[in-house]
Amino acid sequence: MGSASRARLYRTEAIILRRRDFGEADRILTLYAPGSGKTRVLAKGVRKPKSRKSGHVELLTHSNLLIAKGRNLDIVTQAEMIHSFLPIRRDLLRTSYAYYAAELLDRFTEEGEENRPLFDLFLSALFWLSDADDLDLALRCFELRLLGYVGYRPQLFSCLGCERPVEGESSLFSPRYGGLLCSRCGENERGCGEVSRRALATLRYLQTREYVACRRLTVDRPTHEELEVLMRRYITYLLERRLKSVDFMDALRREEAASAVSALKAT
């Protein structure tokens, strides 16, 4: 009997990817855990004002959880926060970038598929987004690596048509092929976008270098804008939809730009 009840309980660390209200005071949480990947669990009573668990199962929190096997959904019985990522919580723009990363992870994974590297990647991305000066760099690096882990690693070194190495000359990125086409092979391919040398060099760097080296990279604004368009096109093509968090992120950035302009005018 004792061993049977122990078997119904398990402990895991996890990051809260998504949550939605359920019933009177409960929430259904979507977790990402190192051993079980994406899982949905029930957190009972967390919307009650006196809930001891609620602060430990907030969105984007990294927590230690004790979970009981349930008939339909497993149930969180204890929760203890490991990292709250306060800088992300306190800054709306950082929040929007982290939401985007969480939505991306959610969309590209199925429930119950273990993927430890993805968990580690997401956790490091949250640390990076907590103190990054260049939030876009953190996001591009996250996207490129995530795509690699889920089987959509973009080909950035040779043409996917003729297999010749692409060196410096003008090249095209095809979402449908999942990478580069030389100008000859991509001539009649729809949906291709040109990639500048600088943008290509940045993508290659982010795809192949150590994480710590990527963190030190400096990328100028025009290159960032180009990379964002390219990655969004590719991701939208793969998911056959636009991510919801993109609109939130864009709206905040427009707001920031507008307030910067009015601050300039005031001086």
Q: Quick one: which H or E segment has residue 15?
A: strand 9-22
Least distance (Å) from Zn ion to the CB of residue 95?
42
46 is a site residue for Zn ion (CB under 5 A): no
Least distance (Å) from Zn ion to the CB of residue 154?
16
Least distance (Å) from Zn ion to the CB of residue 164?
6
- 189 vs 228, which CB is nearer to Zn ion? 189
Least distance (Å) from Zn ion to the CB of residue 171?
9
Residue 16, token pair as written in the block: 């809260």
State the number of CA atoms in the 13 A half-sphere of 3 facing the CB: 0
Q: Which of 141, 185, 203, 230 forms a contact with Zn ion (CB under 5 A)?
A: 185
Q: Which listed range, 18-26, 69-77, 183-191, 221-229, lies at the site for Zn ion (CB under 5 A)?
A: 183-191
Q: Please report the beta strands in the chain, taking only residues with DSSP state E, as ranges in sequence order.
A: 9-22, 26-33, 37-43, 62-68, 74-83, 171-174, 179-182, 193-195
Cβ atoms of residues 57 and 27 within 8 Å: yes
Least distance (Å) from Zn ion to the CB of residue 75?
54
- 185 vs 243, which CB is nearer to Zn ion? 185
- 161 vs 193, which CB is nearer to Zn ion? 161
- 120 vs 189, which CB is nearer to Zn ion? 189
- 185 vs 200, which CB is nearer to Zn ion? 185
Least distance (Å) from Zn ion to the CB of residue 208?
21
180 is a site residue for Zn ion (CB under 5 A): no
Cβ atoms of residues 63 and 81 within 8 Å: yes
- 37 vs 175, which CB is nearer to Zn ion? 175
Question: Residue 241 — φ and ψ, nearest 5°?
Answer: -165, 160
Cβ atoms of residues 98 and 244 within 8 Å: no
Q: Quick one: which H or E segment has residue 101?
A: helix 92-107
Residues 109-168 that bind Zn ion (CB under 5 A): 159, 161-162
Please enumerate in sequence order all residues whose Cβ is within 8 A of that of 142, keeping only pairs 6 or more positions apart, or say none.
101, 104, 121, 122, 125, 128
- 79 vs 185, which CB is nearer to Zn ion? 185
The helix, strand and coil proportions of the chain, stated in percent and rounded to the nearest 5, come to 45, 25, 30
Residue 137, token pair as written in the block: 């760099």
**3-class DSSP assignment, residue 241:** coil
Least distance (Å) from Zn ion to the CB of residue 259?
46
Q: Which of 126, 182, 195, 231 forms a contact with Zn ion (CB under 5 A)?
A: 182
Residue 211, token pair as written in the block: 């994480």
Query: Which residues contact Zn ion (rule: CB under 5 A)?
Result: 159, 161-162, 182, 185
